[in-house]
A and B are shown apart, each in its own frame.
Chain A
């Protein structure tokens, strides 16, 4: 099914309600291989809803139909020297798909942000408003189209990252920001994970104002580990920040400056995760940054590979570690583990997202069912076999 406007989306949901069928929303399919390949639902392709509705650069606001490709929006923003500050990554390559297909609806519905999230906030922090069709077959709006708004509940936050479980987004309004004039990426080689966390924490806690703080474990980007810092802004500012960064180095440490092509290659590998081995599951761990190195030491076997972003608050771990053990360890430090890439049987067996505590799970389920009481969007994709059917 491929609706062309929001009224058709309403019709599709109403028909599914009447026939007790389940629906699964999709955009460009860059994340189709996250979760199980569900057979219990009809796929609805939202790419028929296309185009920019309003973009006024000096208002910092962009309104766009949900099926519009991110690539097109990225170009439109670049033409005005603007950006989406949460730095969305097109992860298609990680799943052997070709990049360029990700849609704005998919970007918002998955809520996944890139390295700049460590200072600039996540996708949810830049979604100002939306139009959507809930599992009640009703079109509704949430939020607004201005950068500052507290009128009513912040439904845009609730829908961001809801993976299509509450409603089909048909239109989204986003806050955009000026793109930096100058970018400079530097690195340190050979730090241990714990040292890297500490160094990045010092940088992020200083007035250096890094806009990316990551660490590629040994045997990923290079044989030795690589700790990467990005500085951005107007030229005089980047120069001053770089000087500040030098001030944080120990006497024996020296910064490598990465060339544009080295930088692009590193950034591409953050989306494709091609620096991690293909033969084992990849986990996305969201943790308190200070716990990251200890957790990796505890979980990663000798030939496992990992990298971390957001100063340690986001770890990507490729490992055969027993899933239950991993989830327990991550939960014990106040984090959660999402199964990112794995073979089909594991994706069917495990819930994609870290299971919630009983009280929180019950609350979430009550919220979900308010939007979708009949379970039209409640497919088994993320459920894992313990819970499914």
Chain B
């Protein structure tokens, strides 16, 4: 696959030795990696179709070091790409040839767990799951649970506003982050949000979460912790048609129930998963729902009974509810292993991430099937059914000429379809480089300019992670121009807030 990245700055490339020497001085000699062999592991994130060696890799371990690196790079016009654990699926952490790759993996300390106020202060390189592990002895946990949670960093979660199976009830990263310590490209250290619930002034924290590493480097994160639910139960429901399953999902929600998670798989995904882990999935079903509820046991029992009824009313052919923790985990085993399961039925797969209004699901799946025939590539669908977030997995073989390109085209068509029916390009994986050029499908030039200008406020020279998210790299001076219609503007003395 090819994607146009900002042209490398020849003067920076020529100054490589100097950049390396400065980084060694600002951080430390062993925190800088400049030989090709050791830089190789950093040449891509989890969107491995794109690879690019960085100018140099640096692994600072204090906020002051990050600030020093960014300040120097800013003064010297050197680009910087932040990287957490490198599990991004949209190429957000893809290096640039003329940019310093700033890796946060040494920011690995959990600084504090406040039990009474139910929050944790952690460094940004801490793995998502490590926060819950640290909170566990206190009966607390960190709710957003991306499938990559063993590996992905909380800083990466903040940058991507990551979700997970349980974000239907507990929200995405943005709903669970109270504050961040941010270093701007100019090397300024600011705290956005904190331990209070909201902050004075504009909600800059709100826009930094999900900004894909373009607005600043996050070194510390304060997250909300939740009490662990008393009990958890799951249902495994098979349907003869996708329509029936979709109607059941709508009925559950219309019935006033927000399950902890509600996942759907289509026939190809069911078969792949069952062959891989033998979870006991019904192989004759066209659609499978896994619905999880949590809370006091009495509540779970009540909800399980309600959902069973709704399932039956929507033509469910099989419906089992977990009566033990082992059984619940078995229900999930196939869904959790969906990606590796799919990689057993095809040499390669490409994971998409659009969101649609749920009511359009049957129609969208039908059109995806038609596209699948058109491109001659298989597709398996796993789906965060509760919130309409689709993950079609396009099956292809990169060794067959043309298939990679066809898979990419197929994926783009799916995302265009999502937008066409009133949805969006990405529900949780981010735009990165992958969906960058599709942004105009969703946003007009003016819409995009209003977003790009936020970038200009944080990073006027556009040195931090350029070439990601926005299809065109506009200069801030150009974006800043004011068009006054039919009049002369005086610049009044403005009051400042």
Contact = CB atoms under 8 A, between A and B. Distances in A.
Chain B contact residues, majority secondary structure: loop
B139 interface: yes
Contacts of A161: 198, 202-203
Contact of A144 (B301, B359, B442): B442
Contact of A153 (B211, B254, B480): B211
Contacts of B442: 144, 151-152
A58 B174 contact: no
Given A139-B446, A388-B495, A371 B201 contact: no
Given A142-B447, A234-B302, A336-B199, A150 B160 contact: yes
A149 B230 contact: no
Interface stretch (B125-133, B182-190, B236-244): B182-190
B31 to A, nearest CB: 26
Interface stretch (A71-79, A238-246, A254-262): A238-246
Interface in A178-221: 178-181, 197-198, 201-202, 204-207, 209
Contacts of B490: 20
B482 A162 contact: no
Contacts of B489: 17-18, 20, 374
Interface stretch (A23-31, A89-97, A116-124, A265-273): A116-124
Contact of B201 (A287, A359, A360): A360
Given A207-B228, A237-B295, A370 B457 contact: yes
Nearest to B119: A288
A178 B210 contact: no
Contacts of B482: 17, 136, 373-374
B145 interface: no
Contacts of B74: none
Interface stretch (B3-11, B148-156, B427-435): B427-435
A154 interface: yes
Contact of A151 (B139, B202, B439, B454): B439
B425 A389 contact: no
Contacts of B427: 146, 148-150
Contacts of B255: 178
B424 A233 contact: no
Nearest to B295: A237
Given A81-B256, A152-B469, A162 B196 contact: no
B53 interface: no
A17 B484 contact: yes
A178 B448 CA distance: 34
A288 B447 contact: no
Contact of B196 (A111, A209, A334): A334
Q: How large is the interface on B (under 10, 10 to 19, 20 to 34, 35 or more residues)?
A: 35 or more
A14 interface: yes
Interface stretch (A42-50, A316-324, A361-369): A361-369
B196 A160 contact: no
B87 to A, nearest CB: 15
Contacts of B457: 363, 366-367, 369-370
Interface in B147-179: 160-161, 163, 167, 171-172, 174-175
- Among B256, B301, B458, B482: residue with most chain A CB under 10 A: B256
Interface in A53-68: 56-61
Nearest to B257: A178
Contacts of A204: 118, 227
Interface in A307-355: 310, 313-314, 334-336, 338, 351, 353-355
Contacts of B424: 144, 146, 149, 151
B388 A146 contact: yes
Contacts of B387: 146-148
A296 interface: no
Given A146-B355, A365-B496, A374-B491, A160 B296 contact: no
A250 to B, nearest CB: 17
A9 interface: no
B446 A140 contact: yes
Given A17-B485, A370-B454, A374-B482, A353 B299 contact: no
Given A204-B118, A288-B196, A371-B450, A148 B206 contact: no
B486 interface: yes
Interface string B213-241: 00000000000000111100000000000
Contacts of B205: 157
Contacts of A165: 202, 497
A370 B194 contact: no
Interface string A144-174: 1111111111110110111001100000000
A103 interface: no
A134 B452 CA distance: 14
A236 interface: yes
Interface in B473-497: 480, 482-497
A355 B496 CA distance: 11
A371 B427 CA distance: 26
Contacts of A160: 203, 206
A56 B358 CA distance: 10
B299 A19 contact: no
A205 B139 contact: yes
B280 to A, nearest CB: 29
A150 B429 contact: yes
Contacts of A335: 196
A300 interface: no
A180 B195 CA distance: 29
A154 B198 contact: no
A289 B117 contact: yes
A141 B355 contact: no
B244 to A, nearest CB: 15
B204 interface: yes
B209 A154 contact: yes
B6 to A, nearest CB: 19
Given A234-B302, A237-B298, A375-B492, A367 B171 contact: no
A236 B299 CA distance: 6
A365 to B, nearest CB: 6
A148 B207 contact: no
Nearest to B418: A146
Contact of B171 (A121, A142, A236, A375): A121
B303 interface: yes
Contacts of A17: 482, 484-485, 487, 489
B215 to A, nearest CB: 8
Contacts of B140: 205
A155 to B, nearest CB: 6
Contact of B495 (A157, A313, A389): A389
A379 interface: yes
Contact of B450 (A138, A146, A151, A354): A138
B23 interface: no
Contacts of B199: 286, 336
B340 interface: no
Report which residue of B203, B448, B484 has the largest number of chain A beta carbons within 10 angstroms of its beta carbon.
B203
A241 to B, nearest CB: 6
A125 B171 contact: yes
Given A111-B203, A244-B230, 5 more contacts: A148-B387, A162-B203, A205-B138, A360-B192, A389-B495
18 contacts: A140-B447, A140-B449, A142-B447, A148-B389, A151-B439, A152-B469, A154-B161, A157-B207, A162-B203, A177-B258, A209-B296, A286-B196, A289-B117, A313-B197, A357-B190, A360-B201, A367-B204, A387-B497
Q: Which 3 A-B pairs have the closest CB atoms?
A: A18-B487, A157-B206, A237-B299
